[in-house]
Structure 1
Amino acid sequence: MILTIVGWIVFGLIAGFIARALVPGKDDIGLLRTIVLGIVGSVVGGLIFGLLTVGIRGFQPAGWIGSIIGAVVVLVIYNQVTGRKRNRL
């Protein structure tokens, strides 16, 4: 049980950092929000993958690529909703 939680935290951290690197601009969301971003991104990626392939099958986290894509989607939506990131010229 503990190893599963630690695995999700590490997985979320890596996916969140990659998503932050892919989305242009500076993100000041901190370590905890980066982990949550990666974990939520994995769930969103699983939902997107399920919709594109066989339909929703319940809770299904995605693999690495799906998690990163989901985390990018979540980060872009988060930035739009909170207005945290503005592109400056």
Structure 2
Amino acid sequence: MDRSILGWLLIGLVAGILGKIIMPGKDPGGFIVTILVGIAGALLAGFIAQSMGWQIVGGWQNYAAATAGAVVLLALYRLVMTRRVR
């Protein structure tokens, strides 16, 4: 199930929660948006790893890649939303 879309979505859910723990703060969308950003981060990390020829074997590597993608997307989300509000 790790290589399926459902597997990446579940890993993305965990990555969204971990991303929120790593980057605490008040997000305009709240917890649901953070989870959606985590799912998108997992998919982004999987795509980038695959396009660069990296192999994410499983286990902790899936979660590390997804969490890194979630943190990057959370930072971009906050950057865009902060500039948009001003």
Q: TM-score range by the shorter chain?
A: 0.5 to 0.7
Change (3 A) 1:71 1:7: closer
Distance in 1 separating the partners of 2:20 and 2:73? 11
Residue pair 1:20, 1:27 contacting (<8 A) in 2 also: no
Change (3 A) 1:65 1:34: same
Task: Identify the range of structure 1 (63-72 vs 75-84) with the bigger mean alpha-carbon deviation.
Answer: 75-84
TM-score computed with the length of structure 2 as normaliser = 0.64
Residue pair 2:11, 2:62 contacting (<8 A) in 1 also: no
Secondary structure in 2 matching 1:83: helix
Q: How does 1:50-61 map to 2 (within 5 A)?
A: 50-51=50-51, 53-54=52-53
Deviation at 1:7, TM superposition (A): 7.7
Look at both structures and tell me which one has the larger radius of gyration over its CA atoms.
1
Deviation at 1:16, TM superposition (A): 0.5
Residue pair 1:15, 1:71 contacting (<8 A) in 2 also: yes
Q: Given residue 70 of structure 1, which amino acid in structure 2 is its aligned partner?
A: G
Residue pair 2:11, 2:66 contacting (<8 A) in 1 also: no
TM-score computed with the length of structure 1 as normaliser = 0.62
Change (3 A) 1:69 1:43: same
Change (3 A) 1:46 1:22: same
Alignment RMSD (CA, Å): 2.9
- Give the number of the structure whose residues are more often helix, by fraction: 2
- CA shift digits 1:46-84 (9 cap, x unpaired): 133234x417xxxxxx81110000000000000011118
Give 5+ residue unaligned stretches, structure 2.
55-60
Distance in 2 separating the partners of 1:35 and 1:25? 14
Tell me the matched-pair count: 73
